A and B are shown apart, each in its own frame.
Chain A
Amino acid sequence: NAGVTQTPKFQVLKTGQSMTLQCAQDMNHNSMYWYRQDPGMGLRLIYYSASEGTTDKGEVPNGYNVSRLNKREFSLRLESAAPSQTSVYFCASRDTGRQVRTEAFFGQGTRLTVV
């Protein structure tokens, strides 16, 4: 049981390049999330998807777009990368089908550097 899988694990981009971070979960969870974690700091929510077909902005959505491709997959796109987007990105999922006060399961993270 893989849980939450993120690809790639590491990426270096040049300023202005675009890329898509992929996330897939095999736990049949309804809700999925993208967070960023800057050095020495906590988690900041970028976007989330409460269910297939819906997405909502979090605390720091500027410069990002998301797609909930199906129930399993939730991708994060950087259209024009900036050095300020250098961070570690975490995808998470939760089972919110019957009740919403459930725990989140995290991927291993994507370490992105924008030069």
Chain B
Amino acid sequence: GDSVTQMEGPVTLSEEAFLTINCTYTATGYPSLFWYVQYPGEGLQLLLKATKADDKGSNKGFEATYRKETTSFHLEKGSVQVSDSAVYFCALSQSNYQLIWGAGTKLIIKP
């Protein structure tokens, strides 16, 4: 079946460092791909999305490119801030009504 694999956390970085959180997926067909962010004590918010191969989703300085050849959707940011500390989830949606979720990656940014 379909699956999403994220790099394990926590990922700890210093402020202004470059961020990459890896996400790879297994799916038949052409899923849409998403990154969600969850701040402490809150629900999940959509961060960015991509609906077809080679699409780049971007928001708040974060970017991710839908790579069908490597089945990946890695999240990147050029310069992280303390306020980016959160849990990040990668997910895909296929031609049914369910979303497939990664396990989440906790990001800790130190000043």
Contact = CB atoms under 8 A, between A and B. Distances in A.
A106 B43 contact: yes
B11 interface: no
A80 interface: no
Contacts of B89: 42-43
B73 interface: no
A95 to B, nearest CB: 11
Contacts of B93: 100-103
A31 interface: yes
Interface residues of B, number: 22
B43 A108 contact: yes
Contacts of A94: 97, 99
Contact of B43 (A50, A100, A107): A107
Nearest to A35: B101
Given A43-B89, A45-B98, A101 B43 contact: no
A45 B96 CA distance: 14
Contact of A101 (B31, B102, B103, B104): B31
B31 to A, nearest CB: 6
Contacts, number: 55
Interface residues of A, number: 25
B94 A106 contact: no
Contacts of A101: 31-32, 51, 93-95
Interface in A47-81: 48, 50, 56, 58
15 contacts: A33-B99, A42-B101, A43-B101, A48-B98, A58-B98, A92-B44, A100-B95, A100-B96, A101-B51, A101-B94, A101-B95, A102-B93, A103-B34, A104-B99, A107-B43
Interface of A: 4, 31, 33, 41-43, 45, 48, 50, 56, 58, 90, 92, 94, 96, 100-109
